[in-house]
């Protein structure tokens, strides 16, 4: 059984549950993970230029799709391009990144491309040109979308102000905003903003790097016992119950299968509120887009 889907503002359907592929590096790891994921019911795979594994994933997809009697159209491929001036300017670099992703992933189109972060990682958060760079990179994605190389466009680690600026600059509304999300960082204002605008909020770092204070929390452990579920399953069901997408990473076949079982876990609204009550506005990833002007 495949996971439930969400209709994006551009009309395309995206699975709410997917496999994150950060730190999947070797050919064998990619083949093992993708094969286990397909068998479990995953249909979305999330990668990025920054992960440096698109070639391995492309090779693995070619082998594993055939093995599981699936076609390219059965899979939702999501990648990210980071803002950079490696090729001289942001526009040239963004176009080259997407073309490179298409080649390495061995596909004629990408289902979703996100701008990975609201600035070039090598410059100051307060740099005055950050807004222009976001606009330039996003504009290139729109051009590639018109050319049929990208179906949907989104962002990652963006604040509401960054999205508003894109629209003010004449761009289309992003379909997805992928940000860190878990009971210690629930981002209520940003989640509500995305919901109001019809933008899918997609969670990265949903397991909070297995931080001990969350794993040992009394509320979490009571829910694990109540629902006969693992820590991971509770953490993943938490966003899913709120129609928030989620892309947990794993290379372990048993864990990949166990994680997918969270799609069948129906946590009550009262228990979701208990988990929301654990919010500390604490992030565990290196992503802090709210600091970027």
Catalytic residue check, 193: no
- Beta pairing, strands 150-156 & 5-7: unpaired
List all residues 6 or more positions away from 229 whose beta carbon is below 8 Å from its beta carbon. Answer: 223, 237, 261, 262, 265
Catalytic residue, chosen from 42, 50, 51, 193, is: 51
Q: Phi then psi for 10, rounded to 5 degrees?
A: -90, 0
- By residue count, the chain amounts to 293
Give the containing element (helix H, strand E) for 80: strand 76-81
Which among 176, 43, 60 has a CA at the least distance from the CA of 116?
176
Which among 154, 145, 151 has a CA at the least distance from the CA of 114?
154
Specify binding-site residues for substrate. Answer: 116
Within 10 angstroms of residue 124's Cβ, the number of other Cβ atoms is: 12
User: DSSP state, 280?
Assistant: -
Q: Phi then psi for 271, rounded to 5 degrees?
A: -75, -30
Decide: 207 and 182 in contact? Cβ < 8 Å.
Answer: yes
Which among 36, 50, 3, 9 has a CA at the least distance from the CA of 251?
36
Supply the residues annotated as catalytic. Answer: 51
């Amino acid at each position: 059984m495949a996971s439930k889907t969400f209709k994006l503002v551009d009309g395309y359907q995206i699975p709410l549950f997917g496999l994150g592929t950060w730190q999947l590096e070797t050919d064998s790891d990619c083949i093992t993970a993708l094969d286990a994921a397909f068998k479990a019911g995953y249909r979305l795979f999330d990668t990025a230029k920054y992960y440096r594994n698109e070639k391995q994933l492309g090779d693995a997809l070619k082998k594993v799709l055939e093995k599981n009697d699936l076609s390219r159209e059965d899979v939702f491929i999501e990648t990210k391009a980071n803002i950079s001036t490696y090729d001289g300017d942001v526009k040239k670099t963004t176009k080259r990144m997407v073309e490179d992703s298409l080649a390495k992933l061995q596909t004629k189109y990408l289902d979703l491309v996100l701008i990975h972060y609201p600035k070039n990682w090598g410059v100051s958060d307060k740099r005055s040109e950050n807004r222009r760079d976001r606009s330039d990179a996003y504009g290139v994605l729109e051009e590639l979308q018109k050319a049929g190389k990208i179906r949907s466009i989104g962002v990652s680690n963006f604040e509401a102000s960054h999205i508003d600026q894109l629209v003010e600059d004449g761009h289309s509304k992003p379909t997805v905003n992928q940000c860190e999300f878990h009971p210690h960082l629930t981002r209520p204002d940003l989640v509500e903003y995305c919901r109001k605008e019809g933008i899918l909020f997609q969670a990265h770092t949903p397991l909070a790097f297995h931080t001990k204070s969350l794993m040992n929390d009394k509320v979490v452990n009571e829910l694990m016992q109540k629902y006969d579920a693992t820590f991971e399953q509770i953490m993943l069901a938490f966003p899913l119950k709120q129609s928030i997408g989620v892309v947990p990473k794993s290379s372990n076949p048993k864990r990949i299968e166990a994680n997918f079982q969270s799609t069948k876990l129906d946590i009550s609204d009262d228990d979701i509120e208990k988990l929301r009550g654990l919010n500390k506005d604490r992030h565990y990833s290196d992503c802090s887009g709210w600091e970027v002007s």
